[in-house]
Amino acid sequence: MPSSAVHRTVQSDKAPSLRPYQSEAVARVVAHFRASSEPAVVVLPTGSGKSLVIAELARLARGRVLVLAHVRELVEQNHAKYEAYGLQADIFSAGLKRKEAGRQVVFGSVQSVVRSPERFADGNFTLLVIDECHRVSLDENAGYRRVIDHLRGQNPKLKILGLTATPYRLGQGFIYHRHHHGMVRGEADCFFRDCVFEQPLRLMVKQGYLARPERRDMAVEHYDFAGLATTESGAFSEAAMNRVVAGNRATPGIVADVIARAQNRAGVMIFAATVEHAEEVLRYLPEGEAALITGATPAQERAAIIAAFKAREIKYLVNVAVLTTGFDAPHVDVIAILRPTESASLYHQIIGRGLRLSPGKDDCLILDYAGNPWDTYAPEVGEPRPASDSEPVQVICPECEHANLFWGKYDGELLLEHYGRRCHGLVEDAEGRAVQCSFRFRFKVCDECGAENDIAARRCHGCERLLVDADDKLRDALKLKDARVLRVSGMQLAATANGRGLPRLKVTYHDEDGATLDEWFALETAAQRRAFQAVFLRRHLRAPGVGWQPATPDEVVAGRNRLRHPDFVVGRLSGRYFKIREKLFDYAGRYRKAAEAQ
């Protein structure tokens, strides 16, 4: 915030005091907006007091402030924390039956504000705060973006701050581009540019600000969602989930297990897969001690159920995807997950319902009956998990030495594979600006200038020419009489010798019909080993950039589990033999790839 946007430093005597990390978050936001008008993000775990940070920033801001949320519970919570300072603010929310927008600070629901832009047209709004900002879509026609465009039309220098516990969206990854620790997280076209502050969940628990999550993977009684496929949006459909849970013989045993484990617990939240599933779960819970909330529950009935649960008049609260945000019941000490979660974001939102502190509460028991793969504390990678056995792995960039976090696999202590494409480190360019490190772990080379590009790029970032499409390369090669195209189903390595008895590495690619193409490498001299690194290892390593430098053919053969084969190989006739001219990795075109060799 520029200095002209800061005022009112005198607090009411009854104003709540900020925790150290909340004060630091506020200071980081103020410093960022003094220097820039680029949208920023603050990441704080569920239960860490985002409302107090919002209240303090609204108290400090000059000009008018609009605080948006997507559910009325959050609007109400944020408004209450601000008024705890002894200050007054308006509420603009149809769900709360209030549509006031005259005071300096307004707390509103995005649905109500987007329908009444004329009420926010005075041009004096200098700060827009968005709670649960991971809901801000890249779609410029979505509600949040329409409100943003309207306010920016009134004030082009509008400061926009987002707060969230889960800074990623399904199908997009991270919602911001740069992190204050000096790394790139999301794409360059992210709406939010910088994460200016983040407080890790593990640190919050260690410092005693949140209850300790005790996760249990329930292997005896559980649902098998392993074969469940997501829709194009990346979510699980209700019909698909219902096929697994409806009338499932495991349900009575699962509910009985929840009851037994919650015997000495205060409050239990159960997250069901579908409405039909939730209704079945409710039937197995103790009568008079449980209630169900779905998206169709009338507002008055929903409010009464929530009030009864918070008053501990009922112990079990079953819900279907409606209490993952904006719900605050600190006494909850059991979370039972009976549904698959499409993303780490949803999973962390669910368990966050049980991490707030409460008298007599030491921990929160997380019971997972759906085999969800997400780790309670593990940092989010930002990309979809490529395989069920993938885990977050650290990969050091060989150029800038940034410690990247990618999906990958370990074999004991050995980093066997990772799926990273480009280093996420931030480095200074010649003008002193922070830019992303240029090192690429996986890439495709421009035929014109030799520049390395992202494997999904269509135009070369070096010479701006259109990159030759992989399908075009295959189609052109198939037309040539002196070319051989292999749909590679396997690759063999052999330590052998040439005609003069010198050691050589022989690499043989074969297709499903047994046709083969070979290439040979010498590793006797330092120059030969450098060439081997450049032309072979750089593309074939399952974990590129890890610094493996075999010095002999035998060492390469011994480490063959580190290597991957290309999807297609193109050879051209040179004399009596075929010479490999092209290898296609990470192929995603219209030609069929070979089945993996067994």
Of the candidates 329, 291, 287, 283, which has an alpha carbon nearest to the alpha carbon of residue 310?
329
Show Cβ contacts of residue 435 under 8 Å, excluding neighbours closer than 6 positions.
426, 427, 428, 429
Euclidean distance between CA atoms 283 and 274, whole angstroms = 14
Radius of gyration, CA atoms only, the chain: 28
Q: Would you state the pLDDT for residue 31?
A: 95
Of the candidates 477, 454, 446, which has an alpha carbon nearest to the alpha carbon of residue 578?
477
Type of residue numbered 60: L
Q: Would you state the pLDDT for residue 285?
A: 96
Q: What digits encode the pLDDT tens for the residues 223-241?
A: 777 666 666 556 677 777 7
Share of the chain above pLDDT 90, in %: 52
Structure tokens at 401: 């030495």
Hunting for tokens 């549509």 — which residue is that?
99
Share of the chain above pLDDT 70, in %: 93
Q: Would you state the pLDDT for residue 233?
A: 58
- Under the banding of pLDDT at 50, 70 and 90, the label for residue 578 is very high
Phi, psi values for residue 319, rounded to 5°: -145, 160
Three-state SS for 299?
helix
Examine the pLDDT at 429 and tell me if it is beyond 60.
yes
Euclidean distance between CA atoms 217 and 197, whole angstroms = 32
Which segment, 175-189, 304-318, 438-452, is predicted with the most confidence on average?
A: 304-318
Angle at 275 between CA 380 and CA 245, to 5 degrees: 75
CB 68 within 8 A of CB 144: yes
Three-state SS for 89?
coil
CB 395 within 8 A of CB 250: no
CB 95 within 8 A of CB 72: yes
Q: What digits encode the pLDDT tens for the residues 248-292?
A: 778 888 999 999 999 999 999 999 988 899 999 999 999 999 999
Q: Would you state the pLDDT for residue 5?
A: 41
Structure tokens at 152: 């920016």
Phi, psi values for residue 378, rounded to 5°: -60, 135
- Under the banding of pLDDT at 50, 70 and 90, the label for residue 221 is low
CA distances (Å), origin 218, targets 316, 319, 320 = 19, 20, 20
Euclidean distance between CA atoms 378 and 340, whole angstroms = 18
Of the candidates 91, 99, 98, which has an alpha carbon nearest to the alpha carbon of residue 66?
91
DSSP string, 533-561: IIIIIHHHBSSTTS-----SHHHHHHTGG
Tell whether pTM > 0.95. no
- Under the banding of pLDDT at 50, 70 and 90, the label for residue 209 is very high
Examine the pLDDT at 380 and tell me if it is beyond 50.
yes
Which parts of 358-420 are beta strand (E)?
363-368, 391-396, 403-411, 414-418
CB 532 within 8 A of CB 521: yes
Axis-axis angle for helices 20-35, 50-60 (nearest 10): 40
The distance between the two most distant Cα atoms of the chain, rounded to a whole number of Å, is 91
